Amino acid sequence: MKKLCTFSPWQRVEATVLRELLEREGIACLVRNENLFSAMGEIPFTECFPELWVIDDEIYPRAKLLLDGWRAAGGQKRRAWTCPHCGETHEGQFGACWKCGRPRNQE
Ligand SMILES: [Zn+2]
């Protein structure tokens, strides 16, 4: 197992979305600390950070590439957007459609 990235506690939704996108690409992964948010204050703050892990080390480079692409696309444009493929509306921070998996910049 290899850690892809660490999220801020308030990015928990993004961590879940990215996990689903990776799974759609056939990449087995999991989010750690996903459910620890409510325990904040009782355990060290940093242990509450959601983490995205890839199960298979060999797939890690591909997963990392996909993830970087999605996040880069999301960083360029922060406005809410509509997926041209399925019509789903997304918050500006998402670089890919959570519904059909299309990257945002393929319009
Ligand atoms: Zn879509």
Q: Give the environment of ion ligand 1: residues with CB less than 5 A.
A: 83, 85-86, 88, 97, 99-100, 102
Ligand 1 center–CA 27 separation, angstroms: 19
Ligand 1 center–CA 45 separation, angstroms: 35
Listed ranges 6-20, 21-35, 81-95; the one with the highest mean pLDDT: 21-35
Structure tokens at 19: 């996990």
Ligand 1 center–CA 43 separation, angstroms: 38
Cut 0.85: pTM above it: no
pLDDT score recorded for residue 41: 59
Distance CA 96, CA 90 (A): 9
For 34-79, how does the pLDDT look when each residue is reduced to its tens digit (9 = 90+)? 765 555 556 565 567 889 999 999 999 999 998 888 777 755 546 7
Give the up-direction half-sphere exposure of residue 38: CA atoms within 13 A in the CB hemisphere: 1
Ligand 1 center–CA 100 separation, angstroms: 4
From the list 80, 71, 32, 88, the residue with the least C-alpha distance to 98 is: 88
Ligand 1 center–CA 73 separation, angstroms: 15
Beta strand pairing call for 89-90 and 51-54: unpaired
